[in-house]
Every structure is written in structure tokens, then in C-alpha cells.
Amino acid sequence: MKFLIAIGSKDYSGSTLELGMHVAKAFNAAVDIVYVGEKISAFSTSEVMLAQENLENWELDRKGVDVLQWAYQYLVENKYIRSDSGNSDFNTDKLIQTDDDRCEVNLEGRITQEVGLILRNGDIIEQLRDEVKRSGTDVTIIGASKKRRMVHDLIQYIDSSIFIVKNYDRDRSYKLLLSVNDAPNTKKALKYGVRVAEAFDLDVNAMTISDSKEFRDDYKKASKWADKFLRRSGVDHEVNLIFGDFITIMNETASDNHIVVMGTSTKSPLTKFFKGSKPLKVSEKCNCPALIVK
């Protein structure tokens, strides 16, 4: 499996990197850590590149390298990678320019598979979408953003599962909230959820929420299957069938002490674009990390 962790700065991306690497470890996945810098106007691309190349002659780093340096130190200190020099200094000479707006360095992983550090410039959605396509990423992990429609664009346009790390506190005690229904992605969500629960030693609350009091047979069947799967996986869990509004119940239950795992909506992209979807609305409104499995 391949994970992509998007980081923005030392100050705000600590929890994203920590949670992301922990989850990647649980999946024994190869990881790419990407920093996406601001878009450079097409009128200035070559001029900015020239200025940045000149900085190298002065042994000065371009913007973003300091963030990769910090990520590298985190990986070395937590023994995710082997350090070449025996210390946690990041050798910027190893950054290879692969495109005008992309450079990368590949590192040998110790616990996970190989780890790549990538520096990109441009529109965040465009760059992540391109990176996901390029590397065949299964899960993209990113911190919550205040940007309008960011969650919408991530879920709508990035062709991988999306893990939004919002309000994560390593000292808080978490449970895993799993949404179970008859959608095809539920089974995959359940498998991902079990891996995450095992990695963090979490109890699982598998909820099937129906907006009508009469539970459809498909829902009951899905709930039973989830119960069986969780039991076989040996995870402490409870299974609930609840009547009510999906978004309200999910958010109230999740509060700030759950990690939410949901399958992506089966609605058509056009409907999702104009009306949104339940997973999207839950991820936008909830106050805790949320994984939307595609």
C-alpha cells in the first residue's frame, strides 16, 4: 500500500505527521511526505527557479526545505528511517528535481516500507491529485484546513481514500466510530477501520444509522456482517442500529474523542458536487480525525 502525508508547517502539521506515520506503520505501507508550496505565477517560474538555484550557491535553502528537514528529523528520531550520517541532519543535495514544480528524495524505511520526501509548488488540490495519480496512492492524509471547500475538493477530486486529521491530541483517549451501511465501500472501510483500531488499540463503535424507523434488510445484513468481521478480528467492539439523522448522530457521537471511518458516498459525482454527501458533511462538521474510504 502507498500513503501520502501532506504537511504544511512545523507548527501545524505535527499531529498529521505523527498520526499519519502511525497509521502507515499499521498498514506496513510505503509513505510519501509532501510539502506543497504556493503557486508561482507562470510569468515568473523561470525567474524564481533562477533565484532559487542561486540560493544554493550561498548554501541557503528554498522555502519548504526546512519543513522537509523537520519531517526528516521526526522520522529519524522515531526510527521510521535509517539516517545516513548517523545524525538527524537532512542532506538537501539528495533532493532531485523531477519536474519544474516537484523535487523528491527517497529514504530507506525501517518500520514502514520506503519513505519519500517531496517538495512541490502549486495549487494544493492539483498537486495532490497529480501526486496520487503518479504514485498510485491508496490513502492521502492531510491536516484540517480553514480554506472554504477544501474538504469537498479533497473528497471530490483526489482519487484515494482521504484521512483528515482534525483536532488530534495524542494524550486523549480515542474510540473508533465506524459507519456501517449497505454501500459497497463499507466492507473496505471496515477493513481499514480494524487496522487503525489495532494500531491504536481502540474500541470500535460500529453504527448503522437509518433515517426511517423500519431498518432495511440490507442495513441489518451489513450490521451483522460488521459484527462478525469485528469479532473475528478480535477487536473490542459494539454494534448499534440507530434511527435518526445520519450527520447529527455521527457528529454528536464522534464529539472530539473518536476517529471516524466511513465509506465514500455512492452518489454520482454531479450530485456530490452540487448537493454534497453524508461523509463529506460529517467530515466538514466533525471535530475529530475522519477517514473516508474510497
Partner 1 sequence: MLGFSNQTIADLLYWVTRKWWLIAAFAISLFLFYIPSPASLSPEGHRTLIIVVIALILIIGEVIPLPAVAILILILEVVLGIDTPNGVATSFMSDAVFFIMGSLMMAVAIVSQGLDKRLALSIIKLTGNKTWRIVFGFVAISSILSSFIGEHTVAAMMLPVALTLIRNTSDDQKTVQRLSTILLFSIAYGCAMGSIGTPSGGGRNVIMLGYFSEFGLGNISYLDWIKYAYPMLLLEIPIASVLLWMTFKPEQRILDSAVRKLKVKVTKAGKVTGNQMMAIGIFVFVFLGWVFLSPYLGLGIIALMGVFLYLSFGLIEWQDINRNTNWGVILLFGAAISLGIQMKETGAAEWVATQSINGMSMLINDLGFMQWFISVFLTGILTNFLSSAATVAVLGPVVLDMGGNPIILGLSTSIASAFSYLTIVASPTCMIIHSSGLVKSSDYLKAGWKLFIISVFILYLVSNLYWPYLS
**Region binding partner 1 by CB under 8 A among candidate stretches 36-44, 167-175, 228-236, 239-247:** 36-44
First-to-last C-alpha distance (Å) of the chain: 14
Interface positions, 50-89, toward partner 1 (CB under 8 A): 50-55, 57-58, 60, 62-64
Buried-exposed string 88-116: b where 16+ CB fall within 10 A, e elsewhere: eebebeebeeeeebbbbbebebeebbebb
Q: Is 258 helix (H, G, I), strand (E, B) or coil?
A: strand
Out of 12, 47, 167, 172, name the contact with partner 1 by CB under 8 A: 47
Q: What is the spatial distance between Cα 286 and Cα 265, in angstroms, rounded to a whole number?
A: 17
Binding flag, residue 43, partner 1 (CB under 8 A): yes
Out of 73, 113, 145, 157, name the contact with partner 1 by CB under 8 A: 157
Out of 14, 22, 26, 49, name the contact with partner 1 by CB under 8 A: 49
Q: Residue 196: how many CA atoms within 13 Å on its side-chain side?
A: 27
Binding flag, residue 136, partner 1 (CB under 8 A): no
Give the neighbor-by-neighbor strand order of the sheet with 290-293.
96-99, 102-107, 115-121, 30-37, 2-7, 139-143, 161-165, 290-293, 258-263, 175-179, 204-210, 237-243
Measured torsion, CA atoms of residues 193, 152, 4, 163, in degrees rounded to the nearest 10:
-20
CB 6 within 8 A of CB 140: yes
Nearer to partner 1, 126 or 256 (CB): 126
Minimum CB distance to partner 1, residue 39 (Å): 8
Interface positions, 241-270, toward partner 1 (CB under 8 A): 268-270
**Number of chain positions touching partner 1 (CB under 8 A):** 32
Nearer to partner 1, 145 or 233 (CB): 145
Q: Residue 51: how many CA atoms within 13 Å on its side-chain side?
A: 8
Binding flag, residue 12, partner 1 (CB under 8 A): no
Minimum CB distance to partner 1, residue 113 (Å): 27
Out of 2, 102, 120, 129, name the contact with partner 1 by CB under 8 A: 129
Minimum CB distance to partner 1, residue 41 (Å): 4
Residue length, the chain?
294
Nearer to partner 1, 157 or 200 (CB): 157
Helix (H) or strand (E) holding 195: helix 185-200
* Positions that interact with partner 1 (CB under 8 A): 37-38, 40-55, 57-58, 60, 62-64, 126, 129, 156-157, 268-270, 273
